[in-house]
A and B are shown apart, each in its own frame.
Chain A
Amino acid sequence: MTTVTDPARPAVVEAPGPAPARRRRGTFGFNTVSPREKVVRYVLLVFVLLITIGPFLWQLSTSLKGSGEDIYTRIPRLLPAQPTFAHYGEVADTIPVWDYARNSLVVAVLVVGGNIIGASLAGFALSRLQFRGRRLVLGLFLATLVLPGEVTIISQYVTVREFGLANTLFGVALPGMIGALNVLLMYNAFRALPLEVDQAAIVDGANAWQRLVYIGLPSVRGTISVVAIFAFIGAWDDFLWPLIVLTDPDKYTLTVGLQYLSGTFSNNPRLIAAGTMIAFIPIVIVFAPLQRFFFKGVEEGAVKG
């Protein structure tokens, strides 16, 4: 069985404690960067930074520009001349943006909780316990990764509707609460632990549950946080699924509500900008701690696949 990882997620190296000594590099001279190369690299880095981050800054700036200020000016001004937070209050008068944020949060918390619990339990059983049918179950989880989610979204909606959960936040959260990919990520993480640890625990009389709680979970904390962060981002950012499930404007999540704001009510770009920032800033806050894990696996030069 090959190891499955989402290639664009950080490959977490579960190694608490001091980092191992750096691998010795080859020729020393090859690694030193000449001053000229350094300048060229930084110029290019800043150029790409402008392209990737610039639009977000422009939106932030628009959201802070005063109502009297000409935002259409032909010479773009990044810094607002009359900075104000008024539009963040005003957008709440136009659409119930804070209720939408709360709805998004409810969905995201359900999805994060469900994935941490469901994927950890299943991942542990699949990797650390022997049982008949294990390979078949593992194969089923793998097989579902091939199918694009949009293909089954209509019949997924029919299923949720049959449960009586159409037009509810729980219905939005439910199908994503245990993702097959997360089960496989947890399976990988648990499998990386040496078998001897389990055997020692068995000798000491630990049952499966104790091995999960006292040995398994503490050593896969890195993967659990990655699963949690990506589950949060996925649920918070999702648009198509809540758009299909929710019909009642009171129950909209932020993404659906924002689309509603730009389509129906307002053509004031400052308001829309404030709304998008309300949706975007929580993602930055959640994503920031991920940096710590992010490039570890990458820099070790180890990619599983």
Chain B
Amino acid sequence: MRYHRWFTPWVLVVPALAWLLVFNLWPSINTVILSFTNARPIGGGTFVGLKNFEALLHDEQLRWALLNSVIYMVVCLPFLTVLPLLLAVLVEKKLPGITFFRTAFYTPVVASAVVVALIWQWILDDRGLVNGMAEKLGVISGPLPFLSDQWLLLLSAISLTIWKGLGYYMIIYLAALGNVGRDLHEAAAVDGAGPFRRFVHITVPGVRGTMILISILISVSALRVFSELFILSGGKGGPGGRDNSVVMLIQQYSQGFEGNLGYASALSIVLFFVTVVPMLVLARLNRRGAQV
């Protein structure tokens, strides 16, 4: 027995459903269609067959972008799976003022990537805080080119991403830590296990599932990086465009008279397959772990 007219639920669902169809489902289909055209940002375009995909194979910038993405992911993964867990353990115990610290650690997450990248741009400037202090301490004789050297720029962007992500993953771990058995910790403490051994043998196994989830999130977001690299490189993608990410290339082809939405769509499809890989790998890992 229903207590409402048949169309009532649909009236309520229709706006959200319309948005889903128009701005999520249709664009995912249309991306595939567009990738076979030479559509321009202003409009128009005709079918060009596989031309865009052939061009992908010879795109040197894409090769750099993919290499950068892999480096980004490989460096981010260990730091962002471990450091936030240590932070979560640090803020887990309810000391006076702990809410302040938790919220403060989360601040870089809610700030815009543009804002934090501009802040880091100033800190890493040739005459900025880091270079100034290092020179004063005599660690270096001249300023390190954090923002103009190909590899240093990539490294700067990576460390910015790690810094900005700490609080985000800390919260996820914090929620998971609540489920790690308290009695286990107590029993181990009674048996004389110190904080370090309890961390390795109780905390880490206890949050294993969360760790896998977090690794997926880190990998996918590292492969999708845009704002950090864009701002730190001043929108240019580093020397010779060798510090681009895949999303930066998509953005470049989306604009101006040189733009090519067809090629940008082909790049989007590359991005899709690149981000699916870590999800599949880690999903497999997860299943295997569950069987053991």
Q: Which residues of A contact B (CB under 8 A)?
A: 7-8, 11, 25-27, 30, 33, 38, 41-42, 44-45, 48-49, 51-53, 55-56, 58-59, 62, 72-76, 117-119, 121-122, 124-126, 129-131, 134, 137, 140-141, 144, 146-148, 150-159, 161, 174-175, 177-178, 180, 183, 202, 207-209, 212, 233, 236-240, 243-244, 247, 255, 258-259, 262-263, 269, 272-273, 275-276, 279-280, 283-284, 287, 291, 294-295, 297-303
Which residue of chain A lies nearest to B236 when distances are taken between CB atoms in the complex? A263
Given contact pairs A52-B107, A294-B106, enumerate 7 new A-B contacts (beta carbons under 8 Å): A131-B2, A148-B271, A159-B22, A237-B114, A279-B114, A280-B112, A298-B171
In the bound assembly, the distance between CA atoms of A157 and B129 in angstroms comes to 40
Known: A52-B108, A130-B2, A262-B234. A156 touches B23 (CB 8 A): yes
8 Å CB contact of B231 from A41, A55, A259, A295: A259
- Please give the distance in Å from B71's CB to the nearest CB on chain A: 19
Question: Which A residue's beta carbon lies closest to that of B248?
Answer: A240
Given contacts A30-B185, A126-B13, A298-B171, contact A48 B105 (CB under 8 A): yes
The interface on chain B, measured as residues whose beta carbon lies within 8 A of the other chain's beta carbons, has a size of 102
Given A243-B251, A294-B103, the answer on whether A137 and B186 have CB atoms closer than 8 Å is: no
Please, how many angstroms separate the alpha-carbon atoms of A124 and B4 in the complex?
Answer: 13
Check if A76 sits within 8 Å of B31, measured CB to CB. Answer: no
* Residue of B whose beta carbon sits closest to that of A51: B163
* Distance of A151 Cα from B267 Cα, bound (Å): 9
Smallest CB–CB gap between B115 and chain A, Å? 5
Distance from B108 Cβ to chain A, minimum over Cβ atoms (Å): 6
Task: Evaluate contact between B255 and A244: CB separation under 8 angstroms.
Answer: yes
> When A and B form their complex, what is the total count of cross-chain residue pairs whose Cβ atoms lie within 8 Å?
285
User: Is B250 interfacial (CB-CB < 8 Å)?
Assistant: yes
User: Which chain B positions have C-beta within 8 A of A275?
Assistant: 118
Bound CA span A209–B12, Å = 10
Contact A152 B31 (CB under 8 A): yes
Question: B1-36 interface mask toward A, CB cutoff 8 Å, 1 = contact, 0 = none?
Answer: 011101011101101110110111111101100100
13 contacts between A and B (CB under 8 A): A27-B186, A55-B116, A55-B119, A118-B16, A131-B2, A131-B6, A148-B224, A151-B275, A158-B30, A158-B34, A238-B112, A239-B226, A279-B112
A133, chain B: closest CB distance, angstroms:
8
B155 at the interface (CB under 8 A from A): no
Interface members, chain B 112-166 (any A CB < 8 Å): 112-116, 118-123, 125, 127, 129, 132-133, 135-136, 163, 166
The interface-forming segment of B54-62, B73-81, B94-102 is B94-102
Contact A52 to B105, CB < 8 A, known contacts A121-B16, A159-B23, A303-B175: yes
Alpha-carbon separation in the docked complex, A137 to B17 (Å): 8
**A183: chain B residues within 8 A (beta carbon):** 16
Task: Give, as a whole number of angstroms, the nearest-CB distance from B224 to chain A.
Answer: 5
With A45-B90, A53-B107, A152-B24 in contact, do A59 and B119 touch (Cβ < 8 Å)?
yes
Would you call B176 and A303 a contact (CB within 8 A)?
A: yes
Assuming A150-B224, A150-B247, is B114 touching A159 (CB within 8 A)?
Answer: no
Which of A141, A151, A158 counts the most B-chain CB atoms under 10 A from its CB? A151
A26 CB contact (under 8 Å) in B93, B103, B183, B250: B183
The CA of A96 and the CA of B231, in the complex, are separated in Å by 20
Is A53's CB under 8 angstroms from B112's CB?
Answer: no
For residue B205, CB closer than 8 A to chain A, the reply is: no
Partner of B132, one of A74, A134, A258: A74
CB-defined contacts of A117 to chain B, threshold 8 Å: 15
A51 contacts which chain B residues (CB < 8 A)? 163
Q: Which of A11, A243, A294 has the most CB of B within 10 A?
A: A243
- B10, A131: Cβ atoms under 8 Å? yes
Least CB distance, B153 to chain A, in whole angstroms: 15
Contact call A75/B12, Cβ cutoff below 8 A:
no
Judged by a CB distance under 8 angstroms, whether B91 is at the interface is yes
